[in-house]
Amino acid sequence: MTADHLESRRQEIVRAALRCFAREGFHATSVRDVVRESGLSAGAVYSYFPSKAELVAGAVEPILEALIGVLDAVVTDTDESLEEDRTPAETVAEVLRRIYPIAVGGELDYTRIAVTAWAEGLRDPAVRAIAEQTYGTVRGRLTHRVARWRDAGHLAADVDAEALGQVLFSTLVGFVLQHALLGDVDLDRYATALCLLLPRS
Amino acid sequence: MTADHLESRRQEIVRAALRCFAREGFHATSVRDVVRESGLSAGAVYSYFPSKAELVAGAVEPILEALIGVLDAVVTDTDESLEEDRTPAETVAEVLRRIYPIAVGGELDYTRIAVTAWAEGLRDPAVRAIAEQTYGTVRGRLTHRVARWRDAGHLAADVDAEALGQVLFSTLVGFVLQHALLGDVDLDRYATALCLLLPRS
């Protein structure tokens, strides 16, 4: 098989896994379920993903990469354009607005995948390691944004940028939870409300 | 058996269930596991909790009641004492400070229980109904707090109190997630940072 063919086969398995995870959660999904869902042979699936942890990693990787890509684009925008300087909360609201159509606009609702991945991360160190790495990156970007905002004089010089980065991170994951579990949160209203936090001083 | 004895037996089963849930998550725990953990007979456990959903409900009820009790105490404080009027974010920070020792100070880490309950709620309508009801109550209190803060002139008259209540709710559940999954969030630093949101105008 060509490299393109290999990659497209890999994608096919990832999509089958995502359908299973969205439906049943990570814990209740076995590699055998993914084999059945994909319509491929067990050997084919195992050759790409020798363990369930690798399947989980392969499944969440694209959305986590998209999230970090969106975040970087928004933070870079913010840092570079002095004209239209977003507050840290406006930065998070803009990330939410851009990631939302990617997360829930397709065949799958990634907010459901995320919630089930969190629970799996409590039990499976490999899944937890993915969460630590990715969420660590996201929080690092938010902390950086807060530090610049503080250093520009909008917050007191002794403000704890890391802790405030954790609070802002909560507004992202809290949206994910409310969307997946309660289903009554509206993106535009939430993002608009978010922008009221940490106003320009 | 006396009513006291019945209640103490019920508590014993709930504690056994909580230990199983904290260790394995809701999904991986069966009623049979709880029977084994409790050291009681299957008949005894089933007479109190005829289904797993009822066991889940019984297990999360005390902590959810504690959360709402703390929230009510803090919101009532805030609404009634005009001298020391907390901002909505300070209200959430105070709730976190008071609920934290209850949630993680005992034998069990309820932040782990919460994360695993969220995932279970995606699959089990009975668990989802508990989340909807309790979290609906919590968000309602936060919305009420925001509306009073807005009506006191600290926010523009057209601010969407419900959406801002959802954002504040995120700062609670986001703390829970970061505590359970990433384990690197410090209560005092987080609560202090939280108080910077929505400053007095």
- pLDDT tens digit sequence for A74-104: 987 766 665 457 899 999 999 999 999 999 9
Residue type, B194: L
Which B-chain residues 119-138 have CB contacts (< 8 A) with chain A?
A: 119-123, 128, 131-132, 135-136
Examine residue B152 and state whether it is found in any structural domain, yes or no: yes
Question: Distance between CA atoms of A46 and A31, rounded to whole angstroms?
Answer: 8
The lowest-confidence range among A38-42, A103-107, B185-189 is: A103-107
Q: Is B159–A186 a contact, with Cβ atoms under 8 angstroms apart?
A: no
Instruction: Let me know if residue A63 belongs to a domain.
Output: yes
Residues 6+ apart with CB under 8 A from B98: B70, B73, B74
Half-sphere exposure of residue B46: CA atoms within 13 angstroms, side-chain side: 5
Q: Which two tokens stand for residue B164?
A: 């801002």
Task: Please indicate, yes or no, if residue B53 is contained in any of the structural domains.
Answer: no
Determine the pLDDT at residue B80: 67
Cβ–Cβ contact B162 with A under 8 A: yes
- Asked if residues B74 and B91 have their Cβ atoms less than 8 Å apart, the reply is yes
| Mutate which: A90, A111, A146, A167, vs B, most B CBs within 10 A | A167
Residue B11 lies in a domain: no
* Mean per-residue pLDDT, A124-134: 90
Task: Give the Cα-Cα-Cα angle A19, A20, A26 (nearest 5 degrees).
Answer: 125
Instruction: Verify whether the Cβ–Cβ distance A164 to B27 is below 8 Å.
Output: no
pLDDT confidence tier of residue B201, bands split at 50, 70 and 90: confident
- The pLDDT of residue B95 is 95
Q: Is A171 within 8 Å of B166 when comparing Cβ atoms?
A: no
Total domains in the fold of chain A: 1
CA A35 → CA A18, A39, B72, distances in Å? 12, 6, 50
Q: Which among A163-172, B124-133, B192-201 has the top mean pLDDT?
A: A163-172
Provide the residue type at A147 as one letter. A
Domain span at residue B106 reads 59-194
Residue B136 neighbours by CB under 8 Å, 6+ apart: A182
Q: Residue A186, class by beta-carbon neighbours within 10 Å (0-12 exposed, 13-18 middle, 19+ buried)?
A: middle
Q: Is residue B163 part of a domain?
A: yes
Nearest to B165 by CA among B100, B89, B96, B90: B89
Q: Is residue A170 part of a domain?
A: yes
Examine residue A118 and state whether it is found in any structural domain, yes or no. Answer: yes
Is A52 inside a domain boundary? no
Q: What are the helix (H) ranges across chain A?
A: 3-28, 31-38, 42-48, 52-80, 88-104, 110-123, 125-151, 161-177, 187-194
Closest Cα in chain A to B116? A119
Look up the CATH number of the domain holding residue A138.
1.10.357.10
Residue B83 has a pLDDT of 46
Q: Are A56 and A120 in contact (CB under 8 A)?
A: yes
